[in-house]
Amino acid sequence: MKLMGHMIAGYPDIKSSIDVGRGILEGGASYLEVQFPFSDGNADGILIQNASMESISKGFSPKEGFKIIKTLAGEFPKARILAMTYANIIYAYGIYNFIKDLKEAGGYGLIAPDFLYTKQDHEGIRGICAALDVKFIELVTATSSSARIKEIDSKSNAPLLYVVAREGITGASTDISPALKANLTRIRKLSKKELYVGFGINSKEQVKSLEAFSDGFVVGSYFVKCVDATKGKKSKVKKEVDFISELKEATMSLLN
């Protein structure tokens, strides 16, 4: 099984968030989502939302996000580093400019969950991604029809599909139910791409139970919890916290 780790750009601060990314990648993640925080992320649970708001309050801007991606892509050339954010951020920046700057920073792909898939690609974002060789990661759910999954599979320029494990927001634990396994089996028959399962994946036990049904898993709130726990270790005596070793250990505990 492969891991797509997730970090909040600028949380708890710019320097520390880079160390968080380093730890996740050193721990063995194949992909890293760098979330550009937004004040109203409609898929974000409370942990990610609070982390995003703290980053924004400290002055985070998309330019900082691209700098973080550039730093990590330079240090981990084999890693596939993705920007994850919402449409408002991309619109405000300019769709073409956002994707161009992502590519120039060494970004591999983009996850933007509120740019819903349509055959016409009205916003043009997927066409721009294809032209600049940035992979646009599509999300599919239990309610996605077989016809829609086939269409997405044939049109997507990415090697994987992000399978949303359940309805709702991130953070809450996901039950690895027979229904989820059945849906993954259904999608597997419809798609030639790798399947990465996300939303509420936060334990080795969940990962093990999905091994036969998916190729990888997406983990976000789990890592925010790790950052929060590591922040709590700060004291007057020890002001510097080793986010790299802490997040590396947390990543390895999922994979090994």
The answer to whether the beta carbons of residues 54 and 227 sit under 8 Å apart is no
The answer to whether the beta carbons of residues 82 and 111 sit under 8 Å apart is yes
Nearest to 165 by CA among 218, 204, 117, 208: 218
13 classed as catalytic: no
Secondary structure letter of residue 167 according to DSSP? S
Choose, from 19, 26, 33, 246, the residue flagged as catalytic. 33
Contacts 24+ apart (CB under 8 A), 224-229: 224/8, 224/11, 224/47, 224/48, 224/51, 225/47, 226/250, 227/11, 227/12, 227/16, 227/20, 227/51, 228/47
Choose, from 26, 44, 138, 246, the residue flagged as catalytic. 44
Q: Is the peptide bond before 37 cis (omega within 30 degrees of 0)?
A: no
44 classed as catalytic: yes
Q: List residues with catalytic annotation.
A: 33, 44
